[in-house]
Every structure is written in structure tokens, then in C-alpha cells.
Structure 1
Amino acid sequence: MADPDRTVDSQASAAAPARASVEASTAARVHAYLRGVTDEMVAQLVEWCTIPSVVGADDDEQHLDHSARWLVDALEGAGFPTVERWPSGGTTAVYAEWCPDADAPTVLVYSHHDVRAAKEENWERTRPFEPALQDGRVYGRGTSDAKGQVLAHVWGVRAHLAATGRSAPAVNLKILVEGEEESGSPHLATLLERNRDRLGADLVVFSDTLLWHADHPAVCTSMRGTMLAHVSVRGTAVDAHSGAVSGAAPNAALELCNLLAQLHDPEGRVTLPGFYDDVAEPDGRRRAELAALPFDEADWLARSGTRRVAGESGYTLLERLWLRPTIEVLMLVAGDPYDLPRAAVPANAEADLSIRYVPDQDARTIADQLRQWVAERISPSVDFDLWISEKTAQDPYVTPDVPAVGALERAMAAGFRNGRVGRMGNAGGGPAVLLADTLGAPVVFFGTGLVEDRWHDSDESMATDVLRAGAATLACLWDELSRQR
């Protein structure tokens, strides 16, 4: 593994235009090349997204292996001399390496090729696994999260070689694309430990994140942590006829709703005792970085589909998204939501919770706080079970001050043809801390998703111009990083 000290330096100011270090002629050749192959890029994305690589499905092993084999062919077609399929927890990861120069920086790219399940009846543009190009967007499950992001890397390498005339990348490239990120990457730690010697790198490029805006690129420098919880409530022994027991029997649905309604106070703050004890106030520099991003509330509401702004008082929308912790209800079910009504008091009710936490908060502490809170707040008229994904929680990560951030900033300026590149965070979570700790390398984030791409929702899509700009950014990034020898 190359020397990680190579990457230690300070970041440039977020408010300043990115230093135009990428040679204009190289960037022009990158863009010209990608314009010429856009149809091929889109065709590949459409082809790959026909494979229903849904993690957790009955036949997921077959489809995930099919998806992995497809990616192996694509990486080999891009010139990678070593490409392998790695079994991992019943799924298949793909590993590729192209390391031509022992003295050059070594970069590991991380992403995933598994996708979320899709409810076909909710899709309007096309069926989930029948991708279609419409109005400059490719619609289909996985187009943006995250097969499109992986393809940006494939074509970024192609464009880098074409624009520079090189026979191999300017940096040593390793790529790891796992197949169980959507289920919390439960076997990734084992996979990393088993292959630590091969995965060694000076830098990790984490490509499972969002951009701020197609017209306003921003470098993501932080990611919130994530932990899941499931609570089930039992009232009556059986579903009981409401006309026979109403008013005299515990109602599991009502008691669960009462519990969940207490999660936040009127100011939008989580009510778990001690929840904010370790939450630091955002520093002035970070708040200024976020405030510098072009933000229009109407534009945000339209792109996100959220209709109204909610959340913790006293903080801007972007601070709520990227700097503050929260707990959300993801699922709530009881009674007969899909069947014909039976006019019965439900015996059981259950809910899924998503806990998003920030630096200095600890997953184990939050789990203990939640257990205590539920035990104290739940009605004594019902029984309950609480499950928390403490062991697979993914901690928050903040990219340290390394020169790779400046390199990425300059590459994005060239790739998106926008000289003013901002700074942002990522509201979701991922295994960034696991990668950084296991490999001993800093993590920088670059993804090609947008909030309007509707990850995990119906009509997921990816804009072809963003795919092209993402590939151009990566083509320029490898050249930028090679200067940091």
C-alpha cells in the first residue's frame, strides 16, 4: 500500500471558485469523447438495469450474480486487466484493479450494484426493470442508485485514457462494487478483512451519494450515520370484533401511534433523554459552506417531492439534512391495510424507524436511549418488542482536510463546466467509517445522484447529462490525483 501521508493537507475555501488546474485541452478532449459515446453509455445503463438485482428477494442470488457478471464484462471492456467476482454473504461483489505504477497514488472506488425492491403498480414512466430513455432521463430501478454511478466510473476511465493518450490510468485504480448495500452491508466487514492486502489504498472514493444540483456542483464532505429499529406492539390476544370489545380492550394500533407521536416535541426535536448530549453545534465555517449553496425553497420542494418544509426549529433546511440528527418512521402497519375491512380491533401493530445521527453521537448510546424511552413511554396495557440494528449501524463520517478534496473540487469544475464548486453533506448513511478504519485511508465522496432521481421510489431515473458530467469529473480526477505524488 502506498503512503497515506501523501494525502495530508488543508482544504481550499468552499466559497472560492475552484482552481482551474485541469488542463483545458484535456478537459475539452474528455467532453468531446463522452459526447461521442453518450448513446453507448445510455445503452449500457439500460441493459444493466434490466437485471433485477434486488437484495433480499427470493431469487436474489441468481440475479445478483447475473448483475455481477455483467459488470465484470463492462470493466474488462474498459481495459481493466484484473476483474474478479467475490462471493459475500450469499451475494456477489465485483473487484477490479489496474495498478500500472508503484509510485503513483492508489485509489479504491467503492459502490454497489444491488437495488431496492420496486412496486410495479406505482410506476408510471415504465416498468421497474424495463428501463427507458425519456426526455433526457433513463427511467428504471437502479439507474441512479447506484448502477449509473458505477457506470460513470467505467466511462470515466475510458474518457481518461482517450483524452490523455495513456495506455493505463495515471493512478493505480481498484474498484469494489458490493451486492448487499441496500440491506446494510452486513458482510462487508468480513469481505474487507479477508482481502485487506489487495484492497490497500491511499484514498477511497465513495460513490453512493447525491449531488446538490445538476447546475451547481458541490463536493460532499460529510455523511450522517444510520441505524434502524423495529418496534412491534401486542394488545389483544386475537383481532377482536370492534362491536364486542371497543372501549374495554387495548388497541395495539392506537398505543403504537401514541408512542410514535411522542418521538418529537413541538419544535421538531427528538425526545429521547440525552439524545443531543453529544451533538455539537455546527461551526461557523460549515454553516457558511452550506449557506453559500444556491438554495430556493420552491425548487427544493419541487425536486424532492416533499411539499412542505418540516423538522427541527432553529436550523436551515440544509443544516437539518446534513448536520442534525433525527428519527423517522419508515413503516407503520396494523389491521387490514390491504384486505377487505373486518371491523376488528387489531391485536398487533408494528413500525420501522430510521435513526440518522451525527459525529460524536454513539450508536450504542442511542440504542440504549431508545430502549429506555420506549419502556418508559409505552402503555402498560400492551406488550412490545424492540429490535435495533446496533451491530450493523453505519457511523457518520467527515472527510478530513486532504488534498484529494481540492483535486475533486477542480475535477468537478471541469467535469460540470462550472467554476464555482460548493460544499455539501449527505443525509443518508453508508460504510464510509468501515472503509476508512479497515483500510487506513481517507474517504472522499463523489456520486451522480440527485434528489429528484427518486431513489427507493417509483420512477427512479438518472439524467444523461449528469451521467456524462460525472464520467467527465472522474476522468479529470485521475489526472488531478496523479499530480499529488
Structure 2
Amino acid sequence: MTPGSPSDQELAAVRDHAVRHRDELLEHLIGWVRIRSVSSNPGNSPDMIRSAHWLAGTLRDTGFPEVEVWRTEGAPAVFARWHAAPGAPTVLVYSHHDVRPAKDDHWEQTPPFEPAVRDGKVWGRGASDAKGQVLAHVWGLRAHLTAGNRAAPAVNLTFLVEGEEESSSVHLAQLLEEHRAELAADLIVLSDTTTWSKQAPAVCTGVRGSISAVLEVLGPYRDVHSGAVSGPAPNPVLELARVLAALHDDAGRIALPGFYDDVEEPGPAERRGLAELPYDEADWLERSSTRSVGGEQGWSVPELLFVRPSLEVAALLAGDPVGPSQGAIPSVAMADISIRTVPRQTVSAVADQVRRFVADHLGERVAYRLQIVEEQGQEPYVTPEDLPALEVLRTAMTEGFGRPVGRMRNAGGSPAHLLATTLGVPLVFFGTGLPEDNWHDSDESLDVDVLLAGVVTTARLWSRLGAG
């Protein structure tokens, strides 16, 4: 052990605490998952308030002397503060308690808000994204206090668990500005990410940005019987299909004008780290529930996921998709386009590229509406490579998972850039999700062993940061 670092005895005590309290932790998670905290559905507003108060009570029970529920024009956030370590770093833990919508008839393991434990997993909406990640911190703190025989954490801890991350964090910027003093910190830990696999954990060093666009192509003024106008009538489905097909070239590169001008190429160390991740195509296809591997040519799957931009069509709608065909040319065809960006790309620049592309590729026979809410876009963020806390986190993860830790980034987006730039401090990532956890899909789950490894990791992180 290095001088001043936490002892092996404390590590053993942390692991023992995690195992002994496993069932209590799972009961906590099950109770929280039962609350339908779907932020995008106004009908679930009472559930969002119940979810916030559930977490607030749990944080008080853990020992936080200061806990508040911050109301917004949307869903509430939970704030907690425990600052009793003069001279130690102040760390802000960020995550969210809202979840994605779920349809009961699409789930096979259990109804989404009737969680169950089986086969070493907790099944239910929000189990992994991100209620389990929040509770890894809660129970990690409890283990940290007990194992170290501490009356307070070794660092000054602040929690901010918002209620609108799954709705683009629409009020987070306002919260950060209004409560800048209460949220002041030396370091941010964002827990809303995945690791590579249960057998090969990896520290996350960055996230891609995200931009969403909705394109509506307008043809006839109303749905028109195809037998009456077929041929001369403008068909918005065909026009939309031509635009979508032109978004990528034959090599899988995104065809927006100037799109790659600002793309930061990964350095040799980054590419070496991604190459060291244990990747097997058959294993990846099974874990990701995908049928094949494609994308931009010349890049590996980990590189495509973490350090290259992407553009996907997330939804496509035209005509009457329910029941027998109406035999009509639709008046409107709609596509929801999702773009993931990498460092040096910006929301505003990419939004302009989308606008120019659509204007250039849609003919005069149809009209269109293009909606891009730039304020809801997220910029990419990468943790500084020389940040000492990154190595501390890597060491804590090695202890938590009991094996060497690789390096990766996260394929999805998050408000990391907003948090780091508004508060003016660096940010590291730690999450207990896995690609096979089915975030945003049916049968979401959380691996119990990974959750317990997260508990040990966070407990050790506070000890090591507090030891300087």
C-alpha cells in the first residue's frame, strides 16, 4: 500500500459489508423501481415527486445532514450535502431518477414496474438506468462509513440527482445557475454510464454528444387514394426515403456537408486502449441484441461506439401503420434522426449542417418541416487524461471488480459538458450498466454482481480521494 492510502483491512471490510447487505440493497432498488418515474409523461408527475421523496428519505437515513427536494417547472431534483472533512476534496455526484416510458405488453421477464430478481439480475424499468447506479453510491457510502469506522465521509460529498435526464435535462442548466454556490465542487462524478463487460470492466473517460432532429416531409394536403392520383402526386415517403438514404455514403461515412471538418481523431494511446478491450463479434452481437456489424469502414466496433460520430434514424412514420393498408398516398412522412458527436463538434454547427443537407436534397414537389431544438442538444465531453482523480478511480474500480480495468468511452450522451463547464471543474464517469442491460428497451435489467462491484468501487473512491 502507498503511504496514506486506505488499508487492505478496510477493503476487506467494505467487501464484507456489500455482501452482508446485498438483500437489503436489492429490496431498496425494487422498492424504488416500482415508482413509475417517467418524466416524459405528464400523467406521471405525482410519481416523479414520490420518486424524489423516496430518494431524499433514503439519503437522510444514510446520514446526510442536509437533504432537499428541488422543484422545477418540470420534474424535481434531489440535493444532498455532507461536508464534514475540512481540507478534503469536495465531490459532486450526479445522476438521475427518471426513467424511459415502458409498455407492459412488450416485456417478457416481468412487467416494467413490477421488478423481480432472478438469474443474478434485477429486472425492471430504471434498474440499471439509473436507479441502480444511484444506489451503488448510497450503499457505497454506507460501506465506506462502516468499514472505516467513520462518523462522516472522508471527502465532502454533494449529491444532485435530477428528474429530467430522460427528457433532455430541460431545466438542469437553470438549476445549476440558481444553485451554483451549493453545488460548488473540486470534482464531479457522473454515474449514468456503462462498463465494457462483467468480465472485463473498463473505466469510462468520455461521452459523445447528442443532437436530435425531426424531419416531416409534406406531400398531398391530405391522404389521397392512390388509384386516383398515383403517378403524378408527390409521395412524401419516397422523398423522405431518398433523403435518409443519402445521409451515408458507400463507405458508411456521414454525408452532411463539412461534418468531419471538426471531428477530433483519437490519439494512439486511445486507440491502443480500445484495441485491448476483449472484443468478439459473436459475443458482441448477442450482448447488444444486434444482427450484424456495419458502420464507417476502417474502424473497429469499440472505436465506432466511443470515438467516432454516428447518425441513426430512431423512428419512421407515414400513413396508417395500424391494421390493413388504406391504399392511400400519405400526406406526411416523418423521421426522427439521432446524431452522436465527438470532441470539437458542436451542436450549433451540426444543426446547421443538417439544415443545409435537407434543403439541398428535398425537391420542390414537396414541402417540409425540420425541428432541431439546439438547447436540448448535448456537447461531447472527455475527462482530461492527466487528471489525478482518473487514476484514483481506475484504482478504486480495480479493487471493486477484483481485476484489471481497461479504458473506454460511453456510446451515449449525457449532460457532462454542461455540468463541467457551468461549475468549472473536471468530471469523471463511473457506471454499473452493461450493454446487455437493455436501456430504453423492454426487459431492462441490472447485473447484481456488477452492482455490488459498484458499491465497493464508490466506497474505495471516497477513501482514496480522502487520503490525498
Distance 2:364 2:86 in 1: 65
Provide the residue aligned with 2:228 in structure 1.
244
- Pick from 450, 454, 458 the counterpart of residue 438 of structure 2: 454
* Mapped contact 2:74–2:171 kept (Cα < 8 A): no
Distance 2:76 2:220 in 1: 44
Provide the residue aligned with 2:244 in structure 1.
260
- Pick from 254, 271, 282 the counterpart of residue 255 of structure 2: 271
Q: Name the amino acid aligned to 1:34.
A: A
Q: Name the amino acid aligned to 1:403.
A: P
Provide the residue aligned with 2:149 in structure 1.
165
Ranges in structure 1 where 5+ consecutive residues have no aligned partner: 1-17
Counterparts of 1:222-241 in structure 2, within 5 Å, are 222-241=206-225
Distance 2:238 2:104 in 1: 31
Provide the residue aligned with 1:356 in structure 2.
340
Aligned identity (percent) is 55
Q: Name the amino acid aligned to 1:244.
A: A
Provide the residue aligned with 1:186 in structure 2.
170
Provide the residue aligned with 1:12 in structure 2.
none
* Mapped contact 2:4–2:467 kept (Cα < 8 A): no
Distance 1:438 1:287 in 2: 30
* Aligned-CA RMSD value: 1.4
Is 1:371 matched up with 2:355?
Answer: yes
Structure 1 residue 120: Cα displacement: 1.6
How does the TM-score come out when normalised to structure 2?
A: 0.98
* Mapped contact 1:21–1:410 kept (Cα < 8 A): no
Structure 1 residue 325: Cα displacement: 0.8
Counterparts of 1:275-290 in structure 2, within 5 Å, are 275-290=259-274
* Mapped contact 2:99–2:126 kept (Cα < 8 A): yes
* Mapped contact 1:408–1:477 kept (Cα < 8 A): yes
Distance 1:182 1:76 in 2: 25
Render the CA deviation track for 1:420-454: whole Å, top value 9, x for unaligned.
Answer: 11110011111111111111110000011000000
Provide the residue aligned with 1:4 in structure 2.
none
Counterparts of 1:402-421 in structure 2, within 5 Å, are 402-418=387-403, 420-421=404-405
Provide the residue aligned with 1:463 in structure 2.
447
Counterparts of 1:326-341 in structure 2, within 5 Å, are 326-341=310-325
How does the TM-score come out when normalised to structure 1?
A: 0.94
Provide the residue aligned with 1:145 in structure 2.
129
Counterparts of 1:284-299 in structure 2, within 5 Å, are 284-299=268-283
Distance 2:419 2:76 in 1: 18
Counterparts of 1:31-430 in structure 2, within 5 Å, are 31-400=15-384, 401-418=386-403, 420-430=404-414
- Pick from 432, 446, 465 the counterpart of residue 481 of structure 1: 465
Distance 1:41 1:21 in 2: 27
Matched positions, count: 466
Taking structure 1 as reference, are residues 20 and 130 closer, same or farther at Cα in structure 2, changes over 3 Å only?
Answer: farther
User: Does the residue aligned with 2:291 lie in a helix, a strand or coil?
Assistant: coil
Distance 1:179 1:313 in 2: 38
Q: Name the amino acid aligned to 2:400.
A: G
Distance 2:278 2:4 in 1: 21
Ranges in structure 2 where 5+ consecutive residues have no aligned partner: none
Taking structure 1 as reference, are residues 20 and 231 closer, same or farther at Cα in structure 2, changes over 3 Å only?
Answer: farther
* Mapped contact 2:85–2:153 kept (Cα < 8 A): no
* Mapped contact 1:22–1:410 kept (Cα < 8 A): no
Runs of 4+ residues deviating >4 angstroms? 18-22
Provide the residue aligned with 1:5 in structure 2.
none
Distance 2:72 2:209 in 1: 23
Distance 1:437 1:363 in 2: 15
